[in-house]
A and B are shown apart, each in its own frame.
Chain A
Amino acid sequence: MRLTTVAWRNVWRNKRRSMIILVSIMVGVIATVLMDALSRGMIVQMLENQIRSHISHLQIHRDGFRDNPVIQATIPNADSVENALKAVQGISYSPRVLTYGLISSASNSAGIFLVGVDAEREKRITSVSASLVAGEYLTDKPNEAVVGEALAEKLGVGLGDRIVAMASAVDGHVGSDVFRIVGLFETFSSEFDKSTMYVPIANAQSMLALRGQVSEFALITSDLERLPAIQKTLKEQLGEKYEVYTYGEIVPLLLAVVDMYDQSMAIFYAIIGIALIFGIINTMLMSVFERIHEFGVLKAIGMPDSRLLMMVLLEALHLGVIGTALGFAIGYVLYIPLSHTGLDLRMFSEGLRSFGVGAIIYPVLTWGSVANALLIIPFISVLGALYPALRAAHLTPVSAIRHV
Chain B
Amino acid sequence: MEQQLIRVENLEKLYQDNGVPVRALHEVSLSIGRGEFSAIAGPSGSGKTTLLNLIGALDKPTQGTIYFEGEDLSSKSKKELSSLRLHRLGFVFQAYNLIPVLTALENVEFAMMLLGIPDSERIRRATAIMEELGIAELAHKLPNKMSGGQQQRVAVARAIVTNPSVVLADEPTANLDSTTAHGLIELMERMNKEKNITFIFSSHDQQVLEHARRILVLKDGTLVNEINK
Contacts and interface: CB of A to CB of B under 8 A. Distances in A.
Interface of A: 1-3, 6, 9-10, 13, 293-294, 297-305, 307, 396-398, 401
A391 to B, nearest CB: 16
A294 B101 CA distance: 11
Interface string B109-135: 111011000010010000000000000
Given A1-B102, A294-B99, A398-B53, A304 B58 contact: no
Interface stretch (B40-48, B66-74, B87-95, B199-207): B87-95
Contacts of B153: none
B82 A304 contact: yes
Contacts of A401: 58, 93
A302 B87 contact: yes
Contact of B102 (A6, A293, A303, A396): A6
A297 B93 contact: yes
A13, A302, A303, most chain B CB atoms within 10 A: A302
B53, B89, B99, most chain A CB atoms within 10 A: B99
25 contacts: A1-B102, A1-B109, A1-B113, A6-B99, A6-B101, A9-B101, A13-B101, A293-B97, A297-B93, A299-B58, A300-B56, A300-B91, A300-B93, A301-B91, A301-B110, A301-B111, A302-B85, A302-B86, A302-B111, A303-B82, A304-B82, A304-B114, A396-B59, A397-B58, A397-B59
B13 to A, nearest CB: 10
Given A1-B106, A297-B93, A397-B58, A303 B101 contact: no
A92 to B, nearest CB: 63
Given A302-B87, A302-B114, A305-B82, A398 B99 contact: no
Interface of B: 53, 56, 58-59, 78-79, 82-87, 89, 91, 93, 97, 99-102, 106, 109-111, 113-114, 119, 122, 158
Contacts of B79: 304-305
Given A6-B99, A302-B84, 4 more contacts: A298-B99, A302-B87, A304-B83, A401-B58
B58 A300 contact: yes
Contacts, number: 70
A298 B91 CA distance: 10
Contacts of B110: 1, 301
Contacts of A297: 91, 93, 97, 99
Nearest to B170: A401
Contacts of B83: 302, 304
A10, A297, A300, most chain B CB atoms within 10 A: A300
5 smallest CB-CB distances across A and B, nearest first, come from A302-B86, A9-B101, A302-B85, A398-B59, A397-B58
B47 to A, nearest CB: 13
Consensus secondary structure, chain A interface: helix
B154 to A, nearest CB: 13
Contact of B113 (A3, A9, A13): A3
Given A301-B85, A301-B158, A302-B82, A307 B114 contact: yes
A46 B209 CA distance: 86
Contact of A300 (B85, B100, B106, B122): B85
B53 A299 contact: no
Nearest to B168: A300
A303 B86 CA distance: 7
A191 B56 CA distance: 81
Contacts of B102: 1, 6, 9
Contacts of A300: 56, 58, 85, 91, 93
A159 to B, nearest CB: 78
B182 to A, nearest CB: 25
B99 to A, nearest CB: 7
Given A302-B83, A304-B114, A398-B59, A10 B101 contact: yes
B46 to A, nearest CB: 17
A395 to B, nearest CB: 11
Nearest to A1: B106
Contact of A301 (B59, B114, B119, B122): B114
Contacts of A3: 113
Nearest to B86: A302
